[in-house]
Structure 1
Amino acid sequence: MRVICWKTIWLSIQTMELFDNLMDSLAEQSYGVIDSFLTPEEITDLVILLRERHLAGRFKTAGIGRANDQHIEAQIRSDHILWLETHSTAVMEQVFFQKINELIQCLNRSCYLGLKDFEFHYAMYPIGTFYKRHLDRFTTDSHRKISVVCYLNEDWKTTDGGELVLYIPEKKPIKIDPVGGHLVCFEADLLEHEVLPATHERLSLTGWLRTY
């Protein structure tokens, strides 16, 4: 898949300001970043929800593969995850879903991607954990179009590590710090990527924008 985006006059000024650079970047280099997609207050509220669910024992060690073929490979992936429910009654999760729906609408109208749905999970990386280089899209399932990572790390420093590394064909790898509130989007079937180990716990909302 190669994303080609077209700006159109129907977009509101507010929406254009939020998503314009992202759409340009996706079209030009297959990835983009939105600074401050979440406010500090929204990050704090989501982290509270994450920690409540973690203390309740709802997180599981993440596996690789799909459905019945999924298995644990600690030497490849060592984070812990909890899938979000779209009918969640948590106000802050619904706020996040609303923002993602707005992003989907803009991408569909400007990039003609035909996105219909999304799926997200909380991801918790304890100190020193990682996710080796991989591609998000399954060979037997082409529905994942855009990978999305929204960081929930408060007061993250460059020296903390935990960068997302994007491997762009015929270019040098791009490293992105997991700064709280920032949202990263990239083409799920094109860019291999990995998560480097960090010296602090690393938190995010990670998921995919999908067709049916």
Structure 2
Amino acid sequence: MPSIDSIEAPPANFLSQEATDQICMALYTEGWAVLEQFLSSDFVALLQQDLMVLDEQGCFHRAGIGREQQFVLRDDIRSDRICWLEGETDTQTLFLQLLEQLMTAVNRRLFLGMNHFEAMYAIYEPGQFYKKHLDSFRGQRNRIMTLVFYLNPNWQPEDGGEFVLYPEEGDQAIATVAPKAGTVAAFLSEEFPHEVLTSQATRHSIAVWFRIRENEFP
């Protein structure tokens, strides 16, 4: 297992200009992007270790749908467990630094005005899923950009758990992404419904939302 000291501060080790350019160009032209090997294998191993320690400590809880007063548990829609990243470990701090730099880079290129973010670990056990949904309804402008990072080495096709992205209208998938270690999927939150197909193996990921705080947009 690599140590945190073996990972250089971003962007030197894993936020390359090429990867940033690819995400920005794809978001500009298509509204979504998928990049394999965006995270190094060493950094993926550290994040997965961090996730597993938190799980052993009982930090994960059942995921629901909706926020605040509208929050409900719906196992027929979503059945994973989650834990928010608060920067409480060196690994989390390094990952949050990466997100800060990526958000700044995307803002500079695409003028999206995003000014903060939230991130959470997610665990899908065999048989679990997340039905088709939107992260943000058009016009709300709270979640602007969604990213999902995958932490699953040696993931096989029979393991299922694919991330499926759909157009705003219609049921024909425009991308189906295997949750392989190091891959990131990014898309504009208001425009693309998506789902997680039933996983046949334990599946680890990090969901991230780049946001605009309330009262900070026109």
For the residues of structure 2 that align with 1:26 and 1:165, how far apart are their CA atoms?
A: 17
Deviations 1:19-74 (A, max 9, x none): 11111111122110222221111111111111111111111100001112101000
Q: Determine the structure 2 residue equivalent to 1:152.
A: 151
Displacement of 1:170: 6.0
Q: What is the correspondence of 1:96-111 to structure 2 with a 5 Å cutoff? A: 96-111=95-110
- Structure 2 partner of 1:65: 66
Conservation of the 8 A alpha-carbon contact between 2:168 and 2:193: no
Q: Tell me, yes or no, if the aligned pair for 2:125 and 2:202 is still in contact at 8 Å.
A: yes
Task: Quote how far apart the aligned CAs of 1:139 are.
Answer: 7.2
Q: Normalising to structure 2: TM-score of the pair?
A: 0.85
Tell me the equivalent position of 2:9: none
Classify 1:70/1:45 alpha carbon distance in 2 versus 1 (closer, same or farther; 3 Å): same
Report if aligned partners of 1:19, 1:34 keep a CA contact under 8 Å in 2.
no
2:57 aligns with 56
Query: Secondary structure of 1:115's match?
Result: coil
Residue correspondence of structure 1 range 31-180 to structure 2 within 5 A? 31-85=32-86, 88-137=87-136, 141-169=140-168, 172-173=172-173, 174-180=175-181
| Unaligned runs of at least 5 residues, structure 1 | 1-13
- Whether the 8 Å CA contact 2:138–2:191 is kept in 1: the answer is no
Secondary structure of the structure 1 residue equivalent to 2:72: coil
1:189-204 aligned at under 5 Å gives the runs 189-204=190-205
Shift of 1:182: 1.0
Q: Which amino acid aligns with 1:54?
A: D
How far the C-alpha of 1:163 sits from its partner, in A, is 0.6
Is residue 134–residue 192 contact of structure 2 (8 Å, CA) maintained in 1? yes
Deviating 4+ runs (over 4 angstroms): 138-141
3-state SS, counterpart of residue 154 of structure 2:
coil
Distance 1:168 1:37 in 2: 24
State the number of aligned residues: 198
Match of 1:207, SS state, is: strand
Which residue in the other structure is 1:206 paired with? Answer: 207
Deviation at 1:158, TM superposition (A): 2.3
Question: How high is the TM-score relative to the length of structure 1?
Answer: 0.87
Q: Distance in 2 between matches of 1:144 and 1:109?
A: 18
- Aligned-residue RMSD, C-alpha: 1.9
- Secondary structure of the equivalent of 2:64? coil
Residues 91-116 of structure 1, C-alpha deviation per residue, up to 9 Å, x if partnerless?
11112111111111111110000010
**Identical columns (%):** 35
